[in-house]
């Protein structure tokens, strides 16, 4: 009777729900409490959003920048201090890299259907 059309970002919703804990843990390690709060809010907002607004898209880009260590060399940003505390040999570092790659892959896959800027 009724055809339910999944949102264009359904795959993203699924990814964020499945990796919610890992994304929030990574955000805490890479950006502290403000980053984990922003990531948690982003996951909640996207899970209930029928469309990705410009604000949500910008938040996705910020999360991608955090996970890909985009700003760790900018000493005016908190990410550089958190990154300085990292032990490159720690077992979680590989998990962070895999999570960042998976997140980037999902953004690339949905970017054609949405107005997301393509990250390098």
| Residue 118 scores a pLDDT above 90 | no
Instruction: Quick: pLDDT tens for 43-83.
Output: 999 999 888 889 999 999 999 999 999 998 989 998 989 88
The burial class, CB within 10 Å (0-12 / 13-18 / 19+), for 7 is middle
Q: How far apart are alpha carbons 84 and 100 in whole angstroms?
A: 18
Residue 25 falls inside a structural domain: yes
Confidence label for 85 from pLDDT (cuts 50, 70 and 90): confident
105 lies in which domain range?
A: 10-111
Total of domains in the chain: 1
> Given this model, what pLDDT does residue 20 score?
97
Residue 18 falls inside a structural domain: yes
Q: How far apart are alpha carbons 50 and 12 in whole angstroms?
A: 12
Average pLDDT, the chain: 87
Q: How far apart are alpha carbons 115 and 59 in whole angstroms?
A: 13
| Residue 120 scores a pLDDT above 50 | no
Residues 93, 72, 25, 90: what is their CA dihedral angle, to the nearest 10 degrees?
A: 20
Q: pTM value? A: 0.85
CA atoms within 13 A on the CB side of 79: 19
Cα separations in angstroms, 52 against 10, 24, 78, 113: 10, 20, 27, 11
Instruction: Read off the pLDDT of each residue in 4-33 and give the average, rounded to a whole number.
Output: 89
Q: Diameter of the chain by CA atoms? A: 58
Q: How far apart are alpha carbons 6 and 86 in whole angstroms?
A: 40
Phi, psi at 29, each rounded to 5°: -65, -35
> Given this model, what pLDDT does residue 86 score?
83
Residue 120 falls inside a structural domain: no
| Residue 3 scores a pLDDT above 50 | no
Residue 53 falls inside a structural domain: yes
Residue 24 falls inside a structural domain: yes
> Given this model, what pLDDT does residue 84 score?
87
């Amino acid at each position: 009777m009724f055809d339910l059309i999944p949102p264009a970002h359904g795959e993203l919703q699924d990814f964020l729900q499945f990796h919610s804990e890992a994304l929030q843990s990574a955000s805490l390690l890479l950006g502290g409490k403000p980053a984990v709060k922003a990531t948690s809010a982003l996951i909640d907002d996207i899970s209930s959003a029928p469309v990705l607004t410009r604000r949500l898209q910008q938040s996705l880009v910020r999360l991608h920048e955090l996970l890909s260590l985009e700003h760790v060399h900018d000493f005016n940003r908190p990410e550089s201090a958190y990154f300085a505390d990292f032990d490159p040999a720690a077992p979680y570092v590989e998990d962070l890299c895999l999570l960042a790659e998976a997140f980037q892959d999902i953004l690339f896959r949905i970017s054609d259907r949405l107005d997301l800027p393509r990250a390098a």
